[in-house]
């Protein structure tokens, strides 16, 4: 006996039609007209729905991202910074570059026993936080449990990029003032969490130099596969080389038409002198 199986709506709740119903992109009475038109047009279910004007191309991308468990946001979802291109523009050339960086880091740095990496640049405005945030998104899209730590206790930015609260954070934890779990899950982005910087302390260098920072990294490494640590500007804050050495490795960032070559050389030498392994350099063209 031959049994006809609905190619979109069956027992599998990851079928595209079921996903669209779950997301309220379609109504139940839309399904049958789409299936009839699909047989006539010979198109996939989602493309047929767009041809009929029942959903937009952007909504189709949203549904496909849910179907394949791939975090992707439309501009209407989330209140994140528009610079979070890995979440909002996953098909852009810039995000392909981020994926290439991710692949290199997986090959050259991250292992089960080495899960943290500092993101470092010489000066303010080089794009450290921008790179940290977007790399965090592409790692989480791979299915890796990813944590971003904002260790820039001088001028933090990650809470602004992800629109998160920052009343408590890393500084609270290192000062022994935290009463609850300070790690925040990023809404709509599966597998991504952030430990914000917290209130600005009068002694950031001393806080980060405490043994409690190393112990915190050790504990977090048992729960997250990827940990990216955003840092202060390397040539103006004495915290950064010590911080990178405690993390173990550093990815340096330079910005086109902004970062001086001598500054990049200087921060690279300073990191190595401090005992941090420089894994590579990223040229930020944004």
> Is 259 contained in some domain?
yes
pLDDT above 70 coverage of the chain, percent: 90
46 and 119 share a domain? Answer: no
The token duo for 189 is 């982005």
Tokens of 97: 């570059």
Q: Assign 6 a pLDDT band (cuts: 50, 70, 90).
A: very low
- CA geometry: angle 17, 143, 151, nearest 5 deg: 130
- Clarify whether residues 97 and 37 are in a common domain: no
Q: Which domain holds residue 110?
A: 85-284
Please give the pLDDT value at position 89.
86
DSSP 3-state of 29: helix
Tell me how long the chain is. 286
Q: Residue 186 and residue 193: Cα distance in Å, rounded?
A: 5
Q: Are residues 145 and 250 in the same domain?
A: yes
Statement to judge: residues 136 and 40 lie in one domain: no
Q: Tell me the two tokens of residue 157.
A: 């930015």
- Whether 211 maps to a domain, the answer reads yes
- Is residue 242 assigned to a domain? yes
Closest to 84 measured CA to CA, from 20, 17, 160: 160
3-state secondary structure of 8: coil
Distance of CA 237 to the CA centre of its chain: 25
Sign of CA dihedral 45, 46, 48, 52: positive
Mean pLDDT of 53-57: 86
Show the CA angle centred on residue 111, arms to residues 106 and 113, nearest 5°: 160
Q: Is the dihedral of CA 105, 108, 109, 110 positive or negative?
A: positive
Q: With bands split at pLDDT 50, 70 and 90, how would you rate the model's confidence at 79?
A: confident
pLDDT reported for residue 7: 37
- Do 54 and 196 have their domain in common? no
- Asked if 188 and 215 sit in the same domain, the reply is yes
* C-alpha span between 122 and 232 (Å, rounded): 9
Say which CATH number the domain at 252 has: 3.40.50.300
Q: Please tell me whether residues 169 and 256 are part of one structural domain.
A: yes
pLDDT score of 23: 79
Position 9 pLDDT exceeds 70: no
DSSP state of 167: S
* Closest to 189 in 3D by CA, of 208, 167, 163: 163
239 Cα distance to chain centroid: 24
Query: Do 264 and 170 sit in the same domain of this protein?
Result: yes
171 and 46, same domain (yes or no) = no
Q: What is the pLDDT of residue 222?
A: 94
Tell whether 158 and 255 lie within a shared domain: yes
Domain presence at residue 277: yes
For residues 141 and 176, membership in a common domain is answered with: yes
Residue 79 lies in a domain: no
In sequence order, which ranges of the chain are alpha helices (DSSP H)?
16-22, 31-41, 45-51, 57-67, 85-88, 93-108, 128-141, 158-161, 170-174, 204-209, 211-221, 239-247, 261-274
Alpha carbon of 75 to those of 59, 84, 89, 242: distances in Å? 11, 11, 9, 39
* pLDDT at site 71: 59
274 domain-assigned: yes
Residue 8 has pLDDT above 60, yes or no: no
pLDDT(268) > 50: yes
The rounded mean pLDDT for the chain is 88
- 130 lies in a domain? yes
Q: Tokens 């899960």 belong to which residue?
A: 115
Region 104-123: mean pLDDT is 96
Give the angle subtended at the CA of 264 by the CAs of 259 and 269, to the nearest 5°: 165
Domain total for the chain? Answer: 2
End-to-end CA distance of the chain: 60
Q: Do 217 and 269 belong together in one domain?
A: yes
Separation of alpha carbons 247 and 253, rounded Å: 17
- The answer to the question of residue 110 being in a domain is yes
pLDDT at 279: 96
Record the pTM: 0.80
């Amino acid at each position: 006996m031959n049994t006809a199986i609905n190619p979109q709506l069956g027992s599998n709740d990851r079928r595209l039609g079921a996903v669209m119903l779950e997301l309220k992109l379609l109504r139940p009475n839309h399904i049958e007209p789409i299936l009839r038109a699909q047989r006539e047009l010979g198109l996939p279910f989602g493309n047929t729905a767009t041809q009929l004007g029942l959903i937009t191309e952007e909504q189709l991308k949203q549904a496909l991202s849910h179907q394949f468990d791939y975090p992707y946001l439309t501009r209407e979802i989330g209140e994140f910074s528009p610079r979070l291109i890995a979440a909002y523009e996953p098909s852009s050339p810039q995000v392909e570059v981020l994926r290439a960086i991710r692949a290199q880091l997986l090959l050259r740095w991250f292992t089960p026993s080495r899960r943290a990496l500092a993101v470092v640049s010489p000066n303010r405005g080089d794009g450290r936080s921008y790179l940290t945030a977007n790399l965090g998104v592409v790692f989480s899209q791979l299915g890796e449990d990813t944590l971003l730590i904002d260790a820039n206790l001088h001028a933090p930015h990650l809470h602004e990029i992800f629109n998160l609260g920052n009343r408590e954070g890393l500084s609270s934890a290192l000062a022994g003032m935290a009463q609850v779990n300070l790690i925040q899950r990023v809404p709509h982005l599966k597998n991504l969490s952030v430990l914000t910087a917290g209130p600005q302390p009068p002694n950031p260098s001393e806080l980060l130099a405490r043994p409690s920072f190393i112990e915190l990294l050790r504990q977090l490494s048992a729960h997250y596969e990827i940990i990216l640590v955003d840092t202060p500007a390397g040539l103006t804050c004495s915290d950064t080389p010590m911080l990178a050495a405690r993390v173990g490795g550093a990815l340096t960032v330079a910005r086109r038409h902004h970062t001086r070559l001598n500054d990049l050389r200087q921060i690279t030498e300073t990191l190595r002198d401090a005992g941090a392994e420089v894994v590579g350099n990223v040229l930020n063209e944004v």
